Amino acid sequence: MSDSSMAVSSSGSCLSTDSSKVDERRDGEEAETVKVPPPPPTEKLLVLGGNGFIGSHVCKEAVDRGLSVASLSRSGRSSIQDSWASKVTWHQGDLLSLGSWEDALNGVTSVISCVGGLGSNSHMYNINGTANVNAIKAAFEKGVKRFVYISAASAGIERKVFLSHFMLPGYYEGKRAAETELLAKFPNGGVVLRPGFIYGTRRVGSMKLPLGVIGSPLDTILRHAKPLRKLPLVGALFNPLLNITSVANAALRAAIDPVFPPGVIDLDGIHHYSQEKF
């Protein structure tokens, strides 16, 4: 967001910086440039899970764009020391514990939920499904305009059946429960992003894991392997990976661009929208 500027004469009268008008200044009067601050942001963004891997990148991108940004998570303030983190309002609250966090939605225009994760089946259903369903219902009640949910790619029918029936039923059932609630409550402003593997720098305590060292070159190769994604059984292995900045940008755009299409956005869609300037 760029600052506008105007010249103020020593007598206090304002002079435009338009060169055709500067000459209106009286002889001998000196002009100094005063920065006029940008108008206060009208968009107020709440990132659920803003201290996690994806959430922290979303918060950083949103702060860089001059948005008013808040985060809500069980642990509250992020341990990240970067300057953008001091510009985020950090709320503490558990989405599974109703009645303790809903005030964080007051005045919020857009929500991006990055809450989810792995664990036991019941935990995965709760954190990916119930926690997000609670958030979607509360945001709807509070009159939030747009809601973006970070879900997960199905990754091909064979792998989906394998994962959902034998390995991660709670994860996928929870994701789909949240998606269904979102599209019902926010038919015009609800966006589901379904990324696959996301690479970028992940913080584990005070350590930074540069997953991009592997992810970036692999992504370049997989992006040219589109026909292989149709292969039976192994096709999902050729799904492209996504850079964390692409996912954060696509989520941010979905949250604040009123013409971003509602509905489910897959891997290629996320990549596409993250490339466009907005």
Residues in touch with ligand NAP (CB under 6 A):
49, 51-55, 73-75, 94-96, 114-117, 127-128, 131, 150, 152, 195, 197-198
Comparison of 66 and 119: residue with beta carbon closer to ligand NAP: 119
Provide the H-helix boundaries in the chain.
19-22, 53-64, 121-124, 131-141, 157-162, 169-185, 212-223, 244-256, 267-275
User: Phi/psi at 243 (nearest 5 deg)?
Assistant: -75, 140
Residue 137 C-beta: closest distance to ligand NAP, Å: 14
Comparison of 148 and 198: residue with beta carbon closer to ligand NAP: 198
Residue 212 C-beta: closest distance to ligand NAP, Å: 12
User: Phi/psi at 71 (nearest 5 deg)?
Assistant: -130, 150
Q: For residues 193 and 271, what is the distance between their CA atoms, to the nearest angstrom?
A: 11
Comparison of 79 and 106: residue with beta carbon closer to ligand NAP: 79
Residue with smallest beta-carbon separation from ligand NAP = 116
- CA nearest to 260, candidates 150, 268, 251: 251
Comparison of 41 and 196: residue with beta carbon closer to ligand NAP: 196
Comparison of 73 and 109: residue with beta carbon closer to ligand NAP: 73
Residue 219 C-beta: closest distance to ligand NAP, Å: 12
DSSP one-letter string for 45-74: EEEETTTSHHHHHHHHHHHHTT-EEEEEES
Residue 59 C-beta: closest distance to ligand NAP, Å: 10
